[in-house]
A = this chain, B = another copy of it.
Amino acid sequence: MTMSRTRPHVRFQDPSIELAHGAGGKASRRLIEGLIAPYVFESGTELRDVAEVALAGGRLAMTADAFVVKPRVFPGGSIGELAVNGTANDLAMGGARPLALVATLILEAGLPTEELEREMAAMARAAERAGVAIVGGDTKVVEHGKADGLYISTAGIGLVDPRVDLSAKRVRPGDQVLLSGPIGDHGITILLARGEIELEAELTSDTRPLWPLVEALIEAAAPGLRWLRDPTRGGVATALNELARDARVTVVLDDEAIPVRPEVRGACEILGLDPLHIANEGQFLAVVAPEYADAALEALRRVPGGASAVRIGAIEEGARPVVLARSRYGGTRVIDMLVGDPLPRIC
């Protein structure tokens, strides 16, 4: 078939793909927005982790993720569990109760069967816990040396709660920024599990299903709920920078309000990393209208696992889209997106 379609406007100029293009920060955004989206998405599409498809019976949310985490097993979880929770959580971030998942496996020849079985068991447990069915999939095997043991891709669907209307475009000055709990646990856990740095810490990944928390938030504050995002690769800083840009607002964080465990803070100080750039798997950010903020927080805190939910900042009118953090002494710093890739293959 001859195509009349002309080459779309491709702004991505890097000659080849590097690890940073997969890290979820600035380089990822350049790749996605500059090369992939112009070809495969309709122009003007708001790039979210979850898409909506209109059906006769309602709005269907649909999402997909690839998982290449190294190591495959780490304190608190493994690649199979991440693959289920990560996709189920993207659906939750679209205001959708996870309904069904499909999964594809790319296996490296030579993978011990017991490792595959362990991850199948992890997926089954995670699916049961998240209340979602795994309904199908596909398995491919590549030669030894053409993968790294096991890569998993999951795609999921869910029905969007009819009460929610989530979009960066609905975020406005005065809205409050909520966070479900302490940040950085997943990223630092992975880093320590690699054994590349000498540091002992009692830390586990925060991987968990987020729908129970989101459901409580919808029940309590749906009319005031503007935006949800799980700050995975690139961390809270990257997620909020994307919000600032998409909503054309200034996000002002209360530096001391952001919960960070001492182990995470300590590791970040030693490594010269900002906890705001570290990946999470079981936390999320919510922007709510000010009159709903208290009800939203109370609702979150009543859900098991939600006790640490906290208000961490607010949206302000901004001449330019930026994320700022104010300390209690009045100092202000600019929080940038993640640049480079300090922690490759974090999920």
Contacts from A to B (Cβ < 8 Å)? 1, 3, 5, 7, 10, 12, 14-23, 28, 31-32, 35-36, 39-42, 48-51, 53, 55-58, 60, 62-68, 99-100, 102-113, 116-117, 120-121, 123-125, 127-129, 133-143, 145-148, 151, 153, 155, 157, 159, 344-345
Contacts and interface: CB of A to CB of B under 8 A. Distances in A.
Contact of A66 (B23, B58, B153): B153
Given A36-B120, A39-B124, 12 more contacts: A7-B121, A17-B107, A17-B113, A21-B141, A22-B141, A35-B116, A40-B137, A55-B159, A63-B136, A64-B138, A143-B344, A157-B157
A110 B345 contact: no
B62 A113 contact: no
Nearest to A18: B109
B140 A66 contact: yes
Contacts of A140: 22, 66-68, 345
Given A62-B135, A68-B106, A135-B53, A10 B345 contact: no
A140 B154 CA distance: 13
B17 A128 contact: no
Given A113-B16, A157-B62, A146 B143 contact: no
B106 A151 contact: yes
A53 B100 contact: yes
16 contacts: A16-B109, A18-B110, A19-B109, A19-B141, A21-B107, A36-B139, A53-B99, A62-B102, A63-B102, A66-B138, A68-B140, A106-B153, A138-B153, A142-B344, A145-B145, A151-B151
A259 B90 CA distance: 46
Nearest to A151: B106
A93 to B, nearest CB: 12
Interface-central residue, A104, A111, A155, by most chain B CB under 10 Å:
A155
Contacts of A19: 109, 141-143
Contacts of A58: 55-57
Contacts of A139: 21-22, 28, 31-32, 36, 66
Count chain B CB atoms within 10 A of each CB in A50, A51, A106, A139 and give the residue with the most: A139
A42 to B, nearest CB: 8
A31 B105 CA distance: 12
A338 to B, nearest CB: 14
Contacts of A100: 51, 53, 62
Contacts of A23: 141
A127 B1 CA distance: 13
A39 B116 CA distance: 11
Contact of A102 (B51, B124, B143): B51
Contacts of A21: 107, 139, 141
A64 B153 contact: yes
A232 to B, nearest CB: 10
Nearest to A156: B155
Given A16-B111, A113-B17, A121 B39 contact: yes
